[in-house]
């Protein structure tokens, strides 16, 4: 077998599988799939967003993190007298959430340097090799799946805001929906212009268009200095030791990885008579409070502080800090190749921006208009600094040689979805697809959101003691879209893909 890829749509997974079949390694396949997201999941993210990548080398066993998330511009929103920054409310079922779009909501993007640098460092193929599947789909069409259609409808108030965006996401005079063939030849042309020398493209046409449309004179905040000072971060992952092996996830300034690390540590180091559901909710509340209190450094003192909160939550659940979040336009790709190289990539452009880079077919991000990125409130980003993110691509390496890579979109549910899938795999012996399909819950701010299908324990859920209980009788995209790739100790490849967001996995023979 050449490898396994799990991604957010059939076309995205097919692009990565094609590169694996052609002899590419895990990083080649992951980058190819990232470019193909523009065809398979066209409303989800873009080349003007940001992301996080975790990579394990089969040769050395080293695990590395590449942070290519967005930066906050050096100019603040308060300093711009005519900021183009306005609200749009999105409806995701039982409630709505307000996001902000416009030129003033754009952060400094990092996807192009992130993906292309990763390819140069760890891949075998050229940029031209890995964009080929995406370009074919963008020119000839990729079928929009049911869940991608559902997410497109959710984002329609943003994506239909102005004519350039409406033109991209319209088919025969109506907004894109499931079953449509999505085409965007302009983006295929952009990718082919990028391929020969991505640095020249990024520093030339891409830079010029970003400054023209999202610079100060156009109501935005991005300056030449912001683009000059943007840098990729190569970081050491957080490593969580377990009885089964080591879990590698995102370090600060990302917030998701430290929260997953803390929750997993609380759950495996403590034993009590409470239900699985009660223990999960207590760990989730403790992690929320630790984030709010600045206790996510991973040091022993912080663990002891969180342990006390966890034990108190088991006795009397209390209201945690309010950290809002909607479905989130984020996708994740997991790949393991036959030699054992493993890659997880999560990337996003927020909810998108309602603004398209002229002539390029690239939707800009709205990172400064998303409260989940700025938990202290809009306008609270540190000038010129890397924005915090909940993205948490994660690798597990077992003592016996087993490996897994997983991640998800889903805003503030990213951390809890990954935690629960890991628990199903390591503690309950579920298969990859069983672990992904199993019912999930999310406890935050005293509210318990829980899926109640497939034998979920209603009595245990009721015993959590939440202020409010929101029940989902079917799998729901609210709980993310975990995509999982696995390699057994014997080298057998397998995967799990999340139907909540239309995921698909392929084992390449």
Q: Which of 330, 331, 346, 394 is catalytic?
A: 330
DSSP states along 347-412 = EE-TT--S-EETTTTEEBP-GGG-TTT-TT-TT-SPTTSBPP-----EEEEETTS-EEEEE---GG
Half-sphere exposure of 454 (CA within 13 A, CB side): 11
Nearest to 75 by CA among 212, 226, 211, 231: 226
CB under 8 Å, gap of 24 or more: what pairs does 450-456 form? Answer: 450/277, 451/475, 451/476, 451/479
List beta partners, residue 182: 142
CB 33 within 8 A of CB 14: no
Four-point Cα dihedral 441, 249, 115, 407, nearest 10: -20
Burial of 56 from C-beta contacts in 10 A (0-12 / 13-18 / 19+): buried
CB 412 within 8 A of CB 323: yes
SS3 467: coil
At a CB cut-off of 8 Å and minimum separation 6, what does 425 contact?
396, 404, 432, 435
Residue 346 annotated in active site: no
CB 385 within 8 A of CB 252: no
Nearest to 242 by CA among 354, 105, 378, 402: 402
At a CB cut-off of 8 Å and minimum separation 6, what does 119 contact?
27, 28, 31, 125, 126, 127, 130
Helices 414-428 & 276-292 angle (0-180, nearest 10): 140
Pairing of strands 493-496, 504-508: unpaired
Tell me 76's DSSP state: -
Omega prior to 282 cis, within 30 of 0: no
Q: Which residues of 107-144 are buried (b: 16+ CB within 10 A; e: fewer)?
A: bbbbbbbbbbbbbeebbebebebbbbbbbbbbeeebbb
Please tell me the distance from the alpha carbon of residue 444 to that of residue 365, in angstroms, as a whole number: 26
Distance of alpha carbon 410 from the chain centroid: 7
Please tell me the distance from the alpha carbon of residue 408 to that of residue 454, in angstroms, as a whole number: 22
CB 395 within 8 A of CB 405: yes
What is the 3-state secondary structure of 260-277?
HHHHHHHHHHCCCCCCHH
CB 54 within 8 A of CB 239: no
Active site members: 330
């Amino acid at each position: 077998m050449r490898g396994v890829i799990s991604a957010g749509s059939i076309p995205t997974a097919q692009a990565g599988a094609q590169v694996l079949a052609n002899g590419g390694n895990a990083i080649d396949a992951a980058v190819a799939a990232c470019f193909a997201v523009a065809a398979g999941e066209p409303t989800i993210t873009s080349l003007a967003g940001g992301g996080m990548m975790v990579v394990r080398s089969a040769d050395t066993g080293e695990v590395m993190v590449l942070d290519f998330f967005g930066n906050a511009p050096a100019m603040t929103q308060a300093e711009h007298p005519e900021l183009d920054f306005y609200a749009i409310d999105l409806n995701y079922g039982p409630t709505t959430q307000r996001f902000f779009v416009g030129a003033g909501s754009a952060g400094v993007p990092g996807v192009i340097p992130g993906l292309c640098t990763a390819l140069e460092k760890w891949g075998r193929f050229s940029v031209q090799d890995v964009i080929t599947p995406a370009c074919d789909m963008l020119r000839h069409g990729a079928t929009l799946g049911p869940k991608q259609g559902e997410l497109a409808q959710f984002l329609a108030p943003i994506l239909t805001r102005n004519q350039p965006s409406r033109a991209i996401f319209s088919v025969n005079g109506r907004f894109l929906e499931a079953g449509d063939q999505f085409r965007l030849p302009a983006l295929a042309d952009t990718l082919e212009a990028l391929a020969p020398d991505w640095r020249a493209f990024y520093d030339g046409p891409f830079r010029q268009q970003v400054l023209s449309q999202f610079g100060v004179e156009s109501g935005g905040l991005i300056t030449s200095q912001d683009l000059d000072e943007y840098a990729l971060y190569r970081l050491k992952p957080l490593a969580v030791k377990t009885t089964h092996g080591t879990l590698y996830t995102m370090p600060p300034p990302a917030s998701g990885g430290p929260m997953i690390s803390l929750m997993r540590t609380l759950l495996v180091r403590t034993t009590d008579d409470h239900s699985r559901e009660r223990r999960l909710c207590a760990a989730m509340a403790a992690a929320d409070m630790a984030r709010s209190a600045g206790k996510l450094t991973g040091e022993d003192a912080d663990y002891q502080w969180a342990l006390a909160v966890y034990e108190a939550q088991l006795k009397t659940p209390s209201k945690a800090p309010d950290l809002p979040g909607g479905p989130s336009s984020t996708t994740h790709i997991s790949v393991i190749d036959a030699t054992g190289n493993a890659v997880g990539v999560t990337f996003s452009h927020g909810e998108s921006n309602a603004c398209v880079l002229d002539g390029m077919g690239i939707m800009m991000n709205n990172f400064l208009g998303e409260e989940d990125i700025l938990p202290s409130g809009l306008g609270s980003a540190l000038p010129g600094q890397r924005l915090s993110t909940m993205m948490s691509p994660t690798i597990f390496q077992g003592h016996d040689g087993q490996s897994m890579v997983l991640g998800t979109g889903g805003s503030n549910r990213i951390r809890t979805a990954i935690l629960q899938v890991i628990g199903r795999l390591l503690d309950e012996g579920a298969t990859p697809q069983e672990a992904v399909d199993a019912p999930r819950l999310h406890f935050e701010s005293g509210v318990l959101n829980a899926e109640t299908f497939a034998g979920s324990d209603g009595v245990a859920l009721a015993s959590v003691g939440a202020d409010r209980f929101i029940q989902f009788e079917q799998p729901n995209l609210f709980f993310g879209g975990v995509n999982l790739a696995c390699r057994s100790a014997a080298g057998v490849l397998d995967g799990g893909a999340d139907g909540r967001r239309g995921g698909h996995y392929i084992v390449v023979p």
